[in-house]
Amino acid sequence: MKTRYPTPQDLGLRIPAPLRRDRFCRGFDHALRGGQLDQVEYFRLSFRMGFRAAKLFLRAERRRRGILEYPLRRRVRLHSLW
């Protein structure tokens, strides 16, 4: 079964007038799928604002479900004296 992610319109988000709707929606979808900002096209304003909106939505959704924060991954180095 295919996963269906919400669109900004499904969530009732208003896309600001100066931003391009198609890029905003692509950025929103990219963030929901767990994508990284690793291409030049991803740094355009409309894409970044869609990406940011999705990240804020995901944070709010996690809090609503009771998942406050994921634990941080740390590196630990241990040296023995022997």
At 8-43, the pLDDT tens digits run: 999 999 999 999 999 999 999 999 999 999 999 999
Read off the pLDDT of residues 43-68 as tens digits, 9 standing for 90 and up: 999 999 999 999 999 999 988 988 87
| Rounded distance between C-alpha atoms, residue 30 and residue 47, angstroms | 9
| Rounded distance between C-alpha atoms, residue 51 and residue 78, angstroms | 39
